[in-house]
Amino acid sequence: MLSPKEFIDDAITKIKEEIQDEKAVIALSGGVDSSVCSVLVGEAIGKNLTAIFVNHGLLRKGEAEQVINTFEDRLNFIYIDASEEFLEALNGVTDPEEKRKIIGKKFIDVFEREASKIEAKYLVQGTIAPDWIETKGKIKSHHNIALPSGMVLEVVEPIRELYKDEVREIGSELGLPDAIIHRQPFPGPGLAVRVIGDLTRDKIKVCQKADAIVREEVEKSGFNKELWQYFAALTDTQVTGVKGDERDFGYLVVVRMVSSFDAMTAYVPEVPWELIRTISRRITSEISEVTHVSLSISDKPPSTIEFA
């Protein structure tokens, strides 16, 4: 069993041998796996790695800024704000699986467009052990990936043998901030699976604001240590409330907090009442479009963790 420092030294030697003087690209999301991979390969081959961070317009409040601040000085880093393009492609789409497909395809388009400017030979991926063990080893260790334009990249997976807790230890040794190392899982399609119905800029913004309040209060209370994920989802339901002296018609926000080991099953723990009250009061008073907050109390199964 290697120590984190030994793993890093060993990985850097192997990456240098594999990539040599060629160029490599990675899609950096700010999640712990792609962040650790980017920094590890960056340490090994320096500027020959380009880390591409695509903002699809469905990130959480402050997330783009956090990723940019963490990596822009540390890596050869490219930030692409493609939110217009993604939201245009998603205009009027309400079906969750359709949203996922559109986002996945668009992501490849945008990434490929940038990667083709670099003339990279290698694609670095933050695959970890559960990713390929769950597919019963169907993802081979040495493989190429052909992008739709015909561009072929050789895949390099430096943390393929690691489990999540080991990735976190390596991240810590590499000096990544806690906010990245202990970040809760966030789905690739982002808020598209937490905003029910069509994805308008206004609805996304309401969801971002509510989610920021949930994260802030849960983290302040320390209850996040008990949770796998905690977030706000925005329903497509409008409900009546009173604001001032007037009756109002606004959104229903659902707060979801789940404990889990691996996301295959999840349960809703007993949530401190004060925390829920504070979150609810803040959401309805700080976000004028919201009239009602509810708490999801459904385990997985039968519910899923996400709302769409």
Instruction: Note whether 268 binds ligand XMP by CB under 6 A.
Output: no
What's the CA gap between 164 and 111, in Å, rounded?
Answer: 25
Instruction: Note whether 300 binds ligand XMP by CB under 6 A.
Output: yes
Q: Residues 87 to 116: which contact ligand XMP by CB under 6 A?
A: 100
In the complex with ligand XMP, the residue whose CB is nearer, 64 or 239, is 64
- Spatial neighbors of 148 by CB under 8 A, at least 6 apart, are 108, 109, 112
Select from 24, 32, 193, 252 the one that contacts ligand XMP (CB under 6 A). 193
Q: What 3-state class would DSSP assign to 177?
A: coil
CA 191, 195, 200, 201 dihedral sign is negative
Instruction: Note whether 187 binds ligand XMP by CB under 6 A.
Output: yes
Q: Count of CB atoms within 10 A of residue 127's CB? A: 20
What's the CA gap between 61 and 64, in Å, rounded?
Answer: 8
Beta strands in the chain (DSSP E): 24-27, 49-55, 76-81, 122-124, 144-146, 152-156, 229-243, 246-258, 290-295
Task: Name the minimum Å distance from CB 113 to ligand XMP.
Answer: 22
Instruction: Note whether 259 binds ligand XMP by CB under 6 A.
Output: no
Q: Count of CB atoms within 10 A of residue 302's CB? A: 6
Exposure letters 177-196 (e unless 16+ CB within 10 A, then b):
eeebbebeebbebbbbbbbb
Task: Name the minimum Å distance from CB 6 to ligand XMP.
Answer: 31
In the complex with ligand XMP, the residue whose CB is nearer, 121 or 300, is 300
Per-residue contact flags (x/-) with ligand XMP for residues 156 to 185, judged by CB under 6 A: -----------------------------x
Instruction: Note whether 130 binds ligand XMP by CB under 6 A.
Output: no
- Spatial neighbors of 221 by CB under 8 A, at least 6 apart, are 272, 274, 275
Per-residue contact flags (x/-) with ligand XMP for residues 51 to 70, judged by CB under 6 A: --------------------
Please work out the total of residues on this chain that contact ligand XMP, with binding judged by CB under 6 A: 12
Task: Name the minimum Å distance from CB 264 to ligand XMP.
Answer: 8
Task: Name the minimum Å distance from CB 229 to ligand XMP.
Answer: 6
In the complex with ligand XMP, the residue whose CB is nearer, 145 or 264, is 264
Name the β-bridge partners of 290: 251
- Interface contacts to ligand XMP, rule CB under 6 A: 100, 185, 187-189, 193, 229, 263, 300, 304-306
